[in-house]
Structure 1
């Protein structure tokens, strides 16, 4: 259980949106859904082959107040520019008080 005082990081929650590219195709971009207070806890790191080369991937557990609209494929963006891609979410204690998001940090 995450104590309310530990939700000390301000993040913007974004959802993917497909928009026209002007040439008949579509491009995926992100639209802000709002800001949330969060606790970010590093969960591990690994190497993964991406486009034929090894790349480091940092994973995190991000706890926020419970929301029913958070899904895998969305992302959090921090004020310092860090981006966390949400892979999965779960209600850790089943009481709909906190939502834990398993996320990977992009571009680090």
Structure 2
């Protein structure tokens, strides 16, 4: 098996790791509040772009791969943010199972 090479020097994009807290509104609905857990540094790679038209509007979706140093608290359902961009974490895995890095597949959705 070939060794996986990830350049630690490429992990230089500052990202905010966020988790969601939901609060019931008393009428069966809820509100979401995103809280910053940590500032991390990673590498963002675009993978694919998709454009869908429906209900009189176009929805653009871009998927990315974000690589960062290993953290045990990163899970799907969280998100990264950078300036005005939001990346929803879809999957998280340790690419070589050494506990050095995490690779997250994320979805960036724009209007």
TM-score bracket for the superposition, by shorter chain length:
0.7 to 0.9
Q: Any unmatched runs of 5+ in structure 1? A: none
Residue of structure 2 in register with 1:103 after alignment: 106
Give RMSD over aligned pairs. 2.1
TM-score, normalised by the number of residues in structure 1: 0.86
**2:12 pairs with 1:8:** yes
TM-score, normalised by the number of residues in structure 2: 0.84
Alignment size in residue pairs: 107
Runs of 4+ in 1 over 6 A off after TM superposition: none
Q: Relative to 1, partners in 2 of residues 1:25 and 1:55: Cα closer, same or farther, differing over 3 Å?
A: closer
Moved more, 54-63 or 24-33: 24-33
Q: Relative to 1, partners in 2 of residues 1:51 and 1:31: Cα closer, same or farther, differing over 3 Å?
A: farther
Residue of structure 1 in register with 2:33 after alignment: 29
Q: Whose radius of gyration is greater, 1 or 2?
A: 2
